[in-house]
Amino acid sequence: MKRRDFLKYTAPAAILPSFINGFAVKAFGGSPLLAALEATATDNDHVLVMIQLNGGNDGLNMVIPLDQYDKYQAARTNIAIPTGNVLKLTGQTKTGLHPAMTGLRDMYDDGHVSIIHSVGYPSPNFSHFRATDIWLSGSDANTVLETGWGGRYLDTEYPGYPDAYPNAEMPDPLAIQIGSIVSPSFVGNGGNMGMAVTSATDFYDLIEGREQDVPNTRAGKELKYIRLIQKQTNRFADAIKAAASKVTNQRTYPANNYLGEQLKIVARLVGGGLKTRLYMVSIGGFDTHASQVNSGDTTTGSHAQLLKNISDAVRTFTEDLRDMKKSQRVVGMTFSEFGRRIKSNGSMGTDHGASAPMIIFGDYVNQQVLGNTPTMPDAASAIDNIPMQYDFRSVYASLLEQWFCVKPADLNTIMLNNYQSLPLINGLACSVVTGVPGVNDDDVLVTNYPNPFTRKTVVSYKSRGGHTMLQVFDTMGRLMATLTDRVHVAGNYTVDFETDLPAGVYYIRLQNGAVQQVRTMLKVR
């Protein structure tokens, strides 16, 4: 989305004339994403809480590669977390968490966290604004979309919106965002489906039912539409206040924790019975180009405090919901617009990078570390990035299918492509059978010969049948070639890769259903 269009579509976000715990609350009655979820989840009361980490989170210092610790430490000698301080995870020997994340470590050990390695997309963009737009719209790197990734579904399921909303079946807002950032995820073909109460006059006219006549012109029709949205906004405000009033006793959330304050509101509204499907909260400060850690103790510093805030807030939020017997309604996820480079810089920080881990949490979430610890070179350069293992849109598609029970046949329409299904949610949530076929460490699913090669190499790969994709990336994460992208029958295959690319390290990525594997190739002169 272009910057001017972002402002155009997000400016009329609905600001409710009420505050909860000191926060203004925005309600999106016709959010594209939430309308899609509501249409396909009428038989459940599931909720998704999205936690946006603004600025680009350093995934390597959050989820630490113990089995490649020597390469990790060599690449970031001035910010690496000492191996003895890394939090171990039950059943895991290759991966640990930053020492500040004890709350999420405990949740993992209790069986309610999935960690997904190296989530990104081909040819990543390193601009904060554009990268955020890609994540929230679900677009390719070279495509600008005017809608959110749920908006494409809204156009077919709710063609008559906003007429007749709210109603008895859905009296509550479909999406609520805490804070001031309006997400392009909530943009449909007609713009953001909420409006702001911009003045005291507008507000009192609204609650007293006063309306001025409008001219029979295009502008008059638009004004009439705006007034309809305003009426809905006021009704949604009443629903939010009613839900909040039902919860009078909550856990004590960590002090001086902005994310915790936001999640406390979410817990209160979920606990009060609000039917809202999606909540968006955020925490900033992740653009850690300098002073990411404290000199002399890399386990402390600005990044450590951010990770502690996330971990403590999520743990308290989950316990709060459990006290209210509402935790089974909720799944949460963390995401950031990009990760950071493998190699640290001279300012004790990290620069804009590509892939990074995501964390999914909730009672129905499968306990697992999905994927392999990131592939890293023996001597990382300043431009080396973590190669992508999973497309972020696979995470979205999997949550839509396994948590909101969207039919698989609808997912291609919603996501504009066929993305692999990942086993994120227990099959009990939607009666969907999930699971990744076992892949042992010694299983080689993709390789090439010769390696190193000068101009041509033969790539051999193994497919278990079904959709199979073979891609080649450079160390910046840019997609260099797609060698296959089709349905295979089970068997062994080969494909020639002939290229004039410059000499250097490249990654070949195999995706076969839920299984993926990344290998390193070396091209020489």
Q: So what's the pLDDT on residue 197?
A: 30
Q: Does residue 212 sit in the same domain as residue 145?
A: yes
Identify whether 115 is part of a domain: yes
Q: Does residue 361 sit in the same domain as residue 453?
A: no
Q: Does residue 425 sit in the same domain as residue 456?
A: no
The total domain count for the chain is 2
Identify whether 434 is part of a domain: no
Q: Does residue 13 sit in the same domain as residue 118?
A: yes
Q: Cα(238)–Cα(228) distance, rounded to whole angstroms?
A: 16
Domain limit, last residue, from 388, 404, 429:
429
Identify whether 437 is part of a domain: no
Q: What secondary structure, in 3-state letters, does 330-392 show?
A: EEEEEEECCCECCCCCCCCCCCECCCEEEEEEECCECCEEECCCCCCCCCCCCCCCCCCCEEH
Strands 278-283 and 175-178: parallel
Identify whether 49 is part of a domain: yes
Structure tokens at 363: 């009672």
Domain limit, last residue, from 399, 429, 459:
429
Q: Does residue 412 sit in the same domain as residue 483?
A: no
Q: Does residue 467 sit in the same domain as residue 417?
A: no
Collapsing DSSP to helix, strand or coil, 219 comes out as helix
> What does the pLDDT profile of the chain (525 residues) look like in tens digits?
444 343 334 433 444 445 666 676 666 555 444 444 444 444 568 898 999 999 999 999 999 999 999 999 999 999 999 999 999 999 999 999 999 999 999 999 999 999 999 999 999 999 999 999 999 888 999 998 887 654 554 444 444 555 565 666 666 676 777 765 445 554 445 545 433 333 334 333 433 445 556 666 766 666 565 555 555 566 677 777 788 888 999 999 999 999 999 899 889 989 999 888 878 888 999 999 999 999 999 999 999 999 999 999 999 999 999 999 999 999 999 999 999 999 999 999 999 999 999 999 999 999 999 999 998 998 999 999 999 999 999 999 899 889 888 787 778 878 888 888 899 998 888 865 555 555 565 688 999 999 999 999 999 999 999 999 999 999 888 999 999 999 999 999 999 999 999 999 899 999 998 888 999 999 998
Domain limit, last residue, from 429, 458, 478:
429
Q: Which of 476, 388, 420 lies closest to 125 in space, CA to CA? A: 476
Those residues with Cβ within 8 angstroms of residue 367's Cβ, 6 or more apart along the chain or in another chain: 108, 111, 112, 113, 114
Q: Check if the beta carbon of residue 286 is closer than 8 Å to that of residue 57.
A: yes
Those residues with Cβ within 8 angstroms of residue 417's Cβ, 6 or more apart along the chain or in another chain: 393
Identify whether 436 is part of a domain: no
Q: So what's the pLDDT on residue 219?
A: 64
Identify whether 113 is part of a domain: yes
Q: Does residue 513 sit in the same domain as residue 418?
A: no
Q: Does residue 70 sit in the same domain as residue 164?
A: yes
Identify whether 480 is part of a domain: yes
In this structure, the dihedral spanned by the alpha carbons of residues 26, 32, 36 and 42, taken in order and rounded to 10 degrees, is 30
Q: Does residue 9 sit in the same domain as residue 60?
A: yes
Q: So what's the pLDDT on residue 389?
A: 95
Could you give the count of Cα atoms lying within 13 Å of 143 in the half-sphere of its Cβ? 14
Identify whether 66 is part of a domain: yes
Give the range of the structural domain holding residue 507, as residue numbers without chain letter. 446-523
Q: Does residue 425 sit in the same domain as residue 337?
A: yes
In DSSP notation, 264-316 reads HHHHHHHHTT----EEEEEE-----SS--SBTTBTTSSHHHHHHHHHHHHHHH
Q: Which of 216, 175, 96 lies closest to 404 in space, CA to CA? A: 175
Q: Cα(260)–Cα(277) distance, rounded to whole angstroms?
A: 20
283 beta partners: 53
Q: Does residue 100 sit in the same domain as residue 210?
A: yes
Q: So what's the pLDDT on residue 169?
A: 65
Q: Does residue 284 sit in the same domain as residue 412?
A: yes
CATH number at residue 517: 2.60.40.3080
Q: Check if the beta carbon of residue 392 is closer than 8 Å to that of residue 336.
A: no
